[in-house]
Amino acid sequence: MYWEKEETLPRKELEELQLKRLKWVVRHVYDNVPFYREALKQRNVHPDDIKKLEDISKLPFTTKEDLRANYPFGLFAVSLDKVVRIHTSSGTSGKPKVVGYTASDIERWANMVARCLYMVGVRKGDIFQNISNYAFFTGGLGFHMGAEKLGAVTIPAGVGNTERQVQCMVDFGTTVIHSTPSYALHLKEVAEEMGVIDKIKLKMGCFGAEPWSENTRKRLEDAFGIKAYDSYGLSEMNGPGVAFECQEQEGLHIWIDHYFVEVVDPKTGERLSDGEKGELVLTTLTKEAMPLLRYRTGDVTFLIDDECSCGRTHPKIHRIIGRTDDMIIVRGINVFPSQIEHVLMRIPEVGDNFQVVITRKGSLDELKVRVELKDELFTGELSDLERIVQKIQKELQKELNLRAEVELVEKGTIERSTGKAKRVLDLRGEL
């Protein structure tokens, strides 16, 4: 039923385990990472002050800037002869974030990913095509190790050459794929063009590394005849495997035996209650090489802590709503790209690709949404096009409280990406 016994531990036992591990990690960083020793001293906190789980609020936050300031190895808590792997993740600016792993970090990470895959029903004998970048990105090797550990037939497909990916799915009888949701939509498009979508035997897909909406899920599930599961993680917390949907598809179980989870008000840092939307803050409880205290992920979500019928006792997070830094403010109104995706993907005439362009005319922000139309719905009649534009505009206005210009473009116009899609083009600074 379960991959590891920790998945169903009674909550009280989980919390005891968390406290033991929290004490360990605070001691570990205090003894071995000058940055943390200094930060703890500044707040007058000593490892012995951690006596109960609530004491976590005494600890300082860690930010992406702290990672960059300590580039490359300044936050490592072990010497390099104990580090067996390095991954990096590049943000929008500056130096990449570097993360290190000991051999046992790698072992735990592989088990966490295996735990997630097992949860959605991947088993020995499944053919797992890992359509993910295998270089610095954690999605490639992370999923690879997890799938292999579980005993699935693992194909290190990497990214790109979409026709070959599709052919491989057909020829090998792939039953499970992992990719970003935006690339999966592209795979679907190419499989349709090749006329082989019916020859694909997929049972499920694991999609993540970027935000996606419930309506995109529906499109993927319908096109491939699969169940599509949301997979969340970040390099700073090992990579994928931090939180994952179970077969109920009602939120992502977040593994609290390895991560202490808080949701805070992004402005004040105050802890929020279950159900309240805020920034996800994670503390690693088991990482040896690069432990992080109260890491500000920048991801916006809320906690769902009800009993799940799958039997797992770990709480869930709602699918990521957006990032504290991808919120666009247009004419004073907060807009998350995920809201736009949510609206577009439920309109049948709209294709799978879109782009948001923000410009400034004089002192006014302009929001333009470029939308690809579905081929089969493109009649070429001007009045039809006008009707679709108005429909999209109306739906966007309802969701965003904002007027958006809508530009219809032909299928294939918007650039496809093999990894994380870049949906927003903010040109306000450049004009």
Least distance from ligand DLL to the Cβ atom of residue 386, Å = 34
Indicate whether 211 belongs to the interface with ligand DLL (CB under 6 A).
yes
Residue 139 engages ligand DLL in binding (rule: CB under 6 A): yes
- Using CA atoms, how far residue 337 sits from 282, 307, 330, 418, in Å, is 24, 31, 12, 19
The helices-and-strands tally (H runs, E runs) of the chain is 10, 21
Decide if 371 contacts 409 (C-beta within 8 A): yes
**Nearest distance from C-beta of residue 230 to ligand DLL, angstroms:** 5
Chain positions 281 to 300 lying near ligand DLL, rule: CB under 6 A, are 297, 299
Shortest Å, Cβ 209 to ligand DLL:
3
Residue 320 interacts with ligand DLL (CB under 6 A)? yes
* Choices 110-118, 203-211, 262-270, 410-418; region in contact with ligand DLL by CB under 6 A: 203-211
- Residue 252 sits at φ, ψ, to 5 deg, of -110, 120
**Shortest Å distance, C-beta 113 to ligand DLL:** 9
Q: Which of 6, 7, 105, 210 forms a contact with ligand DLL (CB under 6 A)?
A: 210
For ligand DLL, the closer CB: 277 or 368: 277
* DSSP per residue, 240-292: EEEEEE-TT-SSEEE-TTTEEEEEE-TTT-PBPPTT--EEEEEEESS-SSS--
CA angle 299, 405, 358 (to 5 degrees): 45
Q: If binding is defined by CB under 6 A, does position 182 make contact with ligand DLL? A: no
Q: Choose the stretch contacting ligand DLL; rule: CB under 6 A; options: 55-63, 123-131, 228-236, 281-289.
A: 228-236
Coil, strand or helix: which one is 83? Answer: strand
Query: Which position among 209, 300, 369, 371 is part of the footprint of ligand DLL (CB under 6 A)?
Result: 209
- Let me know the angle formed at the C-alpha of 32 by 29 and 35, rounded to the nearest 5 degrees: 70
Distance between CA atoms of residues 226 and 197, nearest Å:
12
Q: Rank residues 209 and 228 by Cβ distance to ligand DLL and give the closer one.
A: 209
Query: What is the number of alpha carbons within 13 Å of residue 199 lying toward its C-beta?
Result: 13
Give the position of tokens 């940055």.
35
213 binds ligand DLL (CB under 6 A): no
Q: How far is the CB of 350 from ligand DLL (least distance, A)?
A: 21
* 3-state SS assignment for residue 213: coil
175 scored as a contact of ligand DLL (CB under 6 A): no
Measured CA to CA in angstroms, residue 322 lies from 38, 148, 277, 365 at distances of 32, 31, 11, 21
205 binds ligand DLL (CB under 6 A): no
Taking the least distance from each CB to ligand DLL, the nearer of 200 and 282 is 282
Residue 47 or 121 with smaller CB distance to ligand DLL: 121
Q: Phi-psi bin for 199: left (phi > 0), alpha (psi -120 to 50), beta? A: alpha
Dihedral over alpha carbons 414, 419, 420, 422 (to 10 degrees): -30
Q: Tell me: does residue 203 bind ligand DLL (CB under 6 A).
A: no
In sequence order, the β-bridge partners of residue 102 are 83
Work out which of 146, 240, 291, 337 binds ligand DLL, going by CB under 6 A: 240
145 counts as binding ligand DLL under rule CB under 6 A:
no
231 binds ligand DLL (CB under 6 A): yes
* Residue 235 engages ligand DLL in binding (rule: CB under 6 A): yes
55-114 binders of ligand DLL (CB under 6 A) = 89
Please tell me whether residue 208 binds ligand DLL under the rule CB under 6 A: yes
Q: What is the DSSP string of 321-350?
A: -EETTT-EEETTEEE-HHHHHHHHTTSTTE
Q: Residue from 138, 175, 182, 216 that binds ligand DLL (CB under 6 A)? A: 138
CA dihedral 378, 379, 383, 384 (to 10 degrees): -50
- CA distances 146 to 69, 295, 375, Å, are 31, 24, 39
Nearer to ligand DLL, 334 or 401 (CB): 334
Q: Pick the binder of ligand DLL from 6, 230, 288, 349 (CB under 6 A).
A: 230
Nearest distance, CB of residue 67 and ligand DLL, angstroms: 11
**Going edge to edge, which strands form the sheet with 350-361?**
405-409, 364-373, 350-361, 424-426
Cβ proximity to ligand DLL: between 3 and 295 the closer is: 295
CA 421/CA 431 separation, integer angstroms: 24
The answer to whether residue 233 forms part of the interface with ligand DLL (CB under 6 A) is yes
Binding site for ligand DLL (CB under 6 A): 89, 137-139, 208-211, 230-235, 239-240, 297, 299, 320, 323
